[in-house]
Structure 1
Amino acid sequence: RRVCLERLLARARANADTMEASKELSALFLDGRSISSDAFLAALHSNPALATEVHAATGNTPLHFVCCNGAPLAVVRALVEAYPDAARARDVEGNLPITGAVANGGAASVVDLLLEVHPESVRERQGKHTLLHLAAALDQSVETVQALLSCWEGAAAERDAEGNAPLHFAAACQASPAVVQALLAACPEAATWTGKMGRLPLNLSLLAEAPPGSIELIRDAHPDAQRTLEIVADYRNHGLGVGSKFPPQ
């Protein structure tokens, strides 16, 4: 009997600790602070209703919070399983959790999961910009770019008020050659479009001193861009050794 009583007391203490962790987890999420994955998973297992909480001031659910803070896939999956509708919930600014994931460097596996739960979210925008614009501008991985393109290949052809396609953002923000190649494969015509400051992607990549491999891909997608007057100065001042194939006319 004594052994049984000790076990019951130990279990009661464990349950009390877990409930306290649940309360603490709720407070941490809603205050925008961090919490370890293990503590989160334990608390959510004890109290799945935590996944449905909404911060009155910001409209953030726990899923919004973890997506904005680079949480691992296990954490995001646990929240989605506990409350699938969270993937469709908007904060007070109208943002879905996937927007936070793309804008804050969330893993491609997280973006994949959110797209699986809410495929239409791939067409979300921040102002005039698609999620693909954000991914191209914010140094997201090529895997994330490909995940977005696999759900909506036409996103590569979407342009903002200045005429910028995602390729223009990639060029101006020093995106990797892999990202540039993925965008060009989806919409090669974007290399011929003028965007910010009336510049072509090749101009923007030179001005931003993008990786040479990225510059070469953009150059080869639209060789005639090198014949424009602005390109001569851009190659001279920002070419980083990536030579023009054509002499200025």
Structure 2
Amino acid sequence: DAPVDIVSAIISLRPAEVHAKDCNGRLPIHLACINGASAGIINLLLEAYPLSALCSDENRCVPLHLAVETCIASEGLSSLDAIAVLVAATPDAVFHLNEWDETPVDISADAEARSEEM
């Protein structure tokens, strides 16, 4: 995870970059969630672009979908605090359907059901 002060400096120098999408339609906040960024980094990105928490990528995933998937894949080692920050910032994101008609809650519940089957 990048230090918060470095990310803050980058945002200060290039504020428009928080709006820049990659080839998959992902913003920096999506990429931060995929990489298990800390709550501090997620907060910085949300402060710079509050609506980014509800922006979808090409798979219609909002950052919360990706943060939940990353947390599951890391077996809880990625930041649960980051998920809490995203939910607090945009509670409606928990109901957002991705391309596969899954909400972030569905993804979590499916993972829990699979772990109980094992």
Q: TM-score if structure 2 supplies the norm length?
A: 0.81
Q: Distance in 1 between matches of 2:13 and 2:60?
A: 33
Deviations, residues 61-97 of structure 1 (Å, cap 9, x unaligned): xxxxxxxxx2121210110111211211223333211
Matches for 1:1-249 after TM superposition, within 5 Å: 70-126=1-57, 127-139=59-71, 140-173=78-111, 205-209=112-116, 238=117
CA distance in 1, matches of 2:12, 2:99: 38
Q: Structure 1's 100 and 161: CA in aligned 2 closer, same or farther, altered over 3 A?
A: closer
- Counterpart AA for 1:145: I
The residue type paired with residue 206 of structure 1 is A
Is this contact kept in 1: 2:37–2:79, CA < 8 A?
no
Q: Answer with 1 or 2: which has the greater Rg.
A: 1
Structure 2, unaligned stretches of length 5 or more?
72-77
Structure 1 regions of 5+ residues with no counterpart?
1-69, 174-204, 210-237, 240-249
| Higher RCO structure, 1 or 2 (CA under 8 Å, sep 6+) | 2
Deviation at 1:208, TM superposition (A): 2.6
After the TM superposition, which segments of 4 or more aligned residues of structure 1 sit over 6 Å from their partners? none
Amino acid of the structure 2 residue aligned with 1:207: R
Separation (CA, whole Å) in 2 of partners of 1:88 and 1:141 = 23
Identity %: 28
Relative to the length of structure 1, the TM-score reads 0.41
